Amino acid sequence: MKQTIKDVPIRGKRVLIRVDFNVPLDKTNGAITDDTRIRESVPTIHYAVNRGAIVILMSHLGRPDGKRVPSMSLRPVASRLGELLKRPVKFIEDCVGPSVETTLGTLQSGQVALLENLRFYAEEEKNDPAFAAKLARLGEIYVNDAFGTAHRAHASTEGVARLLPAVAGFLMEKEMKYLGSTLANPAKPYVAILGGAKVSDKIGVITKLLEQVDKLLIGGGMSYTFLKAQGKAVGTSRVEADKLDLAKELIAKAASRKVKLLLPVDHLITTSLDPDTPVKIAKAGEIPDGWMGADIGPDTVELFTAELKGAKTVVWNGPVGVFEQERFREGSRRIAQTLASLKATTIIGGGDSAACVQQLGLADRMSHISTGGGASLEFLEGKTLPGIAVLKEKTSGKPARANAR
Classify strands 141-144 and 112-114 as parallel, antiparallel or unpaired.
unpaired
Q: How far apart, in Å, are the Cα atoms of 186 and each of 43, 209, 213, 291?
A: 27, 12, 9, 40
CB burial of 69-83 (b: ≥16 within 10 Å; e: otherwise) equals eeebbbebbbebbbe
DSSP at 285: B
Does 235 participate in catalysis according to the annotation? no
Q: How far apart are the first and last CA of the chain?
A: 20
Q: SS3 for 54?
A: strand
Q: SS3 for 112?
A: strand
Does 327 participate in catalysis according to the annotation? no
H/E stretch holding 132 = helix 129-136
CA distance 106 to 296: 57
Choosing from 37, 119, 134, 392, which is the catalytic residue?
Answer: 37
Choosing from 80, 87, 162, 198, which is the catalytic residue?
Answer: 198
CA distance 134 to 155: 10
Does 68 participate in catalysis according to the annotation? no
Choosing from 312, 374, 382, 383, which is the catalytic residue?
Answer: 374
Contacts of 367 (CB under 8 A, 6+ apart): 178, 344, 345, 346, 347
Angle between helix axes 75-85 and 36-50 (nearest 10 degrees) is: 60
By CB atoms closer than 10 A (0-12, 13-18, 19+), residue 387 is buried
Neighbours of 139 (CB within 10 A): 23
Does 37 participate in catalysis according to the annotation? yes
Choosing from 148, 169, 321, 351, which is the catalytic residue?
Answer: 351
With contact defined as beta carbons under 8 Å apart, do 43 and 58 qualify? Answer: no
Catalytically active residues are 37, 198, 351, 374
